[in-house]
Chain A
Amino acid sequence: MSEKQIFTLKQVVSSIKKTIDERYKMAYWVKAEMHKLNRFPSGHCFPELVQKEDGKIVAQLSGIIWKTVMDRVNKSFMELLKEPLKEGTNLLLLVKVTFSEKYGLSLQILDVDPSFVLGELQREREETLKRLTKEGILNNNQNLPFPLLPKRIAIISADTSKGLSDFMNVLESNEYGYHFYTHLFPAALQGDIAPNSIQKQLRIIEQVKDYFDIVVIVRGGGGEVSMTCYNNFELCEAIVTFPLPILTGIGHSTNLTVAEMIAYQNGITPTELAEMLIRSFHDFAVPLDDARKIVIRTSENVLLNAGQNLSHAQKLFVALVTSKFSKNRMAVKEIEKDIFRSFKDWNALKAKEIKHESERLVREAQFLLHNYRQRLELPVDKLKPAIERSLRQQNERLGVSSRNVELLSPKMVLKRGYSITRVHGKVISMENPAKKGDKISTFTHDFELESEIKELKKTDDE
């Protein structure tokens, strides 16, 4: 080896740069994942671009996006994808291989194709759907029985979300007095953190699932933002396998996200979702009211029918009884007539018999009377002299007695010389005593003497 040829560093990098510049004159479309964006305060970005195979990085190179390019790219991304350029996505980049003496090899990014990203997102969406279908769980949440009354609602939303306040307003201001119980489980609703944040709240709700009827995910109000996080496989898997029906109201998207497709129901906006829930209360309240009306109407009918039947039966009964009664009355009248006729006949017969009997009795009596009279007449003839004889004897006995009586009469006693003396008109006795000077009257057979007592002496019994 002769004398060493020595180059300065600048000579080397200049040589490399010259070679590279000559070799890579054109710009190329390169497919790569933007691993990190590395945005500097100046607005320029120095992203790390990688290519992965089976999760391992197999190629890596730095990129440069100047601020002006970055602004233009973001604008076109927002227009088409509703989100800015973000890390972790596969991109189709228009690049130029550059070599800077100072910074070395890098890819200067001149443009990023937003439609490629759209395609990538579409691919993720389809991938998620494909996997859910393959696992046979695509319709799991939709096949859950829906509660008759979705009354207790677990809400996954952000405290500040306009969508949440819209949802609550509709629920709380319903004019029917329906009462919902809601509990907020706060979560991030957009961007790369949303899937994990929502899944975390779902895990919490699962532990208290007995206290809820349904879960709703509501989001909205803000500007146009990307909804691609709702195509995330893990999030969608968590939704379909959740034990309660999950309803979504996450905003207007022309292209439904997988989460909205596989949820029990998609209410589109929070307001519409809340109105749907009120309708389901209504769907319950209306048949309830119908049931009430039917119960009233039917029972009225049953009573009316029963009443009519009863009144019909009553009329029939009365008619039957009346007809039976009049028939019987006629029969009774006939019998009565028969009886009367028979009685009259019997009466006549009996009268005849009685007359006959009485005539016979009279005859018999007369006969008997005649007999007795004849029998009596005979002794009367014999009695007459006996009676007359007895009468004579009696008269004779009476004549003797009357003479004896005559001998004892007062006149005869007076005639025999006795007298009766009276004082004060009565016979003188111990009961009617006389005293000296009294005038006394004395009756004899032929005179009445008036005298005055000169001397009074009690008669000596001896």
Chain B
Amino acid sequence: MSKEISYDKAFDELQQIVSDMEEGEIGVDELSIKVKRASELIKICKEKLSSTEEDVSKILKGLK
């Protein structure tokens, strides 16, 4: 689940940024960096929702 881990991490990181922002722990200087990162993470996660996975049929053929 290598892909899934980085994806889970992306979501965790996003949640962290969001909670930091909600708690007002982000200043103007960091803001643009954090917002940029958050939008990247959102993009990664959104793509995941609709992306296509690699077909495992070939691997399975090798097993049989």
Collect the chain A residues with CB atoms within 8 Å of residue B50's CB. Answer: 177-179
A291 and B49 form a contact (CB under 8 A): no
Interface residues on A, range: 20 to 34
16 A-B pairs within 8 Å (CB atoms) are namely A147-B4, A148-B7, A149-B7, A152-B53, A183-B57, A204-B63, A208-B56, A211-B56, A212-B56, A213-B4, A284-B11, A288-B42, A291-B15, A298-B21, A299-B21, A299-B35
Known interface pairs A148-B7, A181-B52. Does A213 touch B21 (Cβ–Cβ under 8 Å)? no
Question: Beyond A284-B11, A295-B38, is A151–B48 a contact (Cβ under 8 Å)?
Answer: yes
- Given known A179-B50, A284-B11, A298-B21, contact A213–B1 (CB-CB < 8 A): yes
CA distance A181 to B4 in the complex (A): 14
Given A152-B53, A208-B56, verify A295-B63 contact (CB < 8 Å). no
Tell me whether A147 and B39 are in contact (CB under 8 A): no
Q: Is A315 an interface residue (CB 8 A)?
A: no
Q: From DSSP, what is the main secondary structure of chain A's interface residues? A: helix
Q: Say yes or no: is A390 at the interface (Cβ < 8 Å to chain B).
A: no
Least Cβ distance of A148 to chain B in Å?
A: 5
Q: Which of chain B's residues has its CB closest to A183's CB?
A: B56
CB within 8 Å for A147 and B63 given contacts A291-B15, A292-B42, A294-B21: no
CB proximity of A282 to chain B, nearest CB, Å:
10
Complex contact A294–B8 (CB within 8 A): no
Does B22 lie within 8 Å of A294, measured CB to CB?
Answer: yes
Q: Quick one: which of B18, B34, B49 contacts A149, CB cutoff 8 A?
A: B49
Q: Is the CB of A204 within 8 A of B60?
A: yes
Assuming the contacts A292-B42, A299-B35, A303-B28, asked whether A179 and B63 have C-beta atoms less than 8 A apart, the reply is: no
Q: CA A177 – CA B15 in complex, angstroms?
A: 23
C-alpha spacing A112/B5, complex, angstroms: 56
Please determine whether A284 and B63 come into contact, CB atoms closer than 8 angstroms.
Answer: no
Closest to B1 in A: A210
Q: A177 to B26, Cβ gap below 8 A?
A: no
Q: A149-B48, A302-B28 are in contact. Are A295 and B39 (CB under 8 A)?
A: yes
Q: Which 7 A-B pairs have the closest CB atoms?
A: A181-B53, A298-B21, A211-B56, A295-B38, A291-B18, A306-B28, A179-B50
- Find chain A residues with CB under 8 A from B56 CB: 183, 208, 211-212
Residue of B nearest to A185 (CB): B60
Residues of B13-47 whose CB lies within 8 A of A: 14-15, 17-18, 21-22, 24, 26-28, 31, 34-35, 38-39, 42, 45-46
Min CB–CB distance A74 → chain B (angstroms): 38
| Contact digits for A161-183, partner B, Cβ 8 Å, 1 yes 0 no | 00000000000000011110101
Q: Which residues of A contact B64 (CB under 8 A)?
A: 204
| Residues of chain A having any CB pair with chain B under 8 Å | 147-149, 151-152, 176-179, 181, 183, 204, 207-208, 210-213, 281, 284-285, 287-288, 291-292, 294-295, 298-299, 302-303, 306
Q: Shortest Cβ distance from B5 into chain A, in angstroms?
A: 10
Q: Which of A210, A213, A288 contacts B2 (CB 8 A)?
A: A210
B59 touches A211 (CB 8 A): yes
Q: Are A179 and B4 in contact (CB under 8 A)?
A: no
* Chain B residue at minimum C-beta to C-beta distance from A204: B63
Q: In the complex, what residues of A have CB within 8 A of residue B24's CB? A: 298, 302
Contact indicator A285/B49 (Cβ below 8 Å): yes
**Nearest chain B CB to A174's CB is how many angstroms away?**
10
What A residues does B48 contact at CB under 8 A? Answer: 149, 151
What is the CA–CA distance of A55 and B17 in the complex, to the nearest angstrom? Answer: 63
> Are B42 and A291 within 8 A (Cβ)?
yes
| Bound-state Cα–Cα, A177 to B50, Å | 6
Q: Is the pair A179, B51 in contact by a Cβ cutoff of 8 Å? A: yes
